[in-house]
Chain A
């Protein structure tokens, strides 16, 4: 089983709203990732969690706040977003964040900020 699930599939929010994206995997993977993807562009790494600790933050604005409550769950809390934040948000996981580990992606949450 190489499934990473993400909820919700679609989200529309206003610039003053607070919402959260959720990602879950039950493969025993200890590294989890958030990516942002705009149309016709490659995924851009936002955050990496390794053993439930934030290990990489790619200079993401503070209106995006990640959280890793346990080894199977990864959340992305959203607050005061801008219309340019509209994108597909992808979660991925891998066994570890180390050498030559394949990342498995979830289906993504399509976010529209109005």
Chain B
């Protein structure tokens, strides 16, 4: 049973525009959420995280929003750059720090 879902397998965005990647989860015990970026044949690279006590966390061009009542989080990238093209995984953990990953969204930023 997939506890973390990314319903959009792919997304294409024009360079300079905003990319919005979405993630839904089912387990209300999750209290820590992360986004990872992954290039082919490489390990996931940590991007940004958010604790359940916050609803927004920002780091440069990357902002993560958390809506606990909707069990939904999103990653905003603005402005999008061609180097952002990669697969983005969201992950969630409970107090045991076991991570549950979504299925990934492949982002293509078109120059």
User: Which A residues lie at the B interface, using CB under 8 A?
Assistant: 2, 4, 6, 31, 40-43, 45, 48, 56, 88, 90-92, 94, 96-108, 110
Q: Is there contact, CB below 8 Å, between B51 and A48?
A: no
User: Which B residues lie at the A interface, using CB under 8 A?
Assistant: 4, 31-32, 34, 36, 41-46, 49, 51, 89, 93, 95-99, 101-104
A60 to chain B, nearest CB (A): 14
Name the one of A2, A103, A110 contacting B41, with C-beta atoms under 8 angstroms: A110
Q: Is there contact, CB below 8 Å, between A90 and B43?
A: yes
| C-alpha spacing A106/B38, complex, angstroms | 11
| C-alpha spacing A40/B93, complex, angstroms | 21
Q: Is there contact, CB below 8 Å, between A105 and B43?
A: yes
| C-alpha spacing A4/B93, complex, angstroms | 21
| C-alpha spacing A1/B93, complex, angstroms | 24
Name the one of B34, B44, B102, B103 contacting A90, with C-beta atoms under 8 angstroms: B44
Given A40-B104, A106-B43, are A100 and B32 also a contact pair (CB < 8 Å)? Answer: yes
Q: Closest A-chain residue to B52, C-beta based?
A: A100
Q: Closest A-chain residue to B89, C-beta based?
A: A42
Given A42-B89, A103-B46, A105-B45, are A48 and B98 also a contact pair (CB < 8 Å)? Answer: yes
Q: Is there contact, CB below 8 Å, between B97 and A94?
A: yes
Q: Collect the chain B residues with CB atoms within 8 Å of residue A107's CB.
A: 42-43
Q: Closest B-chain residue to A40, C-beta based?
A: B104
Q: Is there contact, CB below 8 Å, between A108 and B42?
A: yes
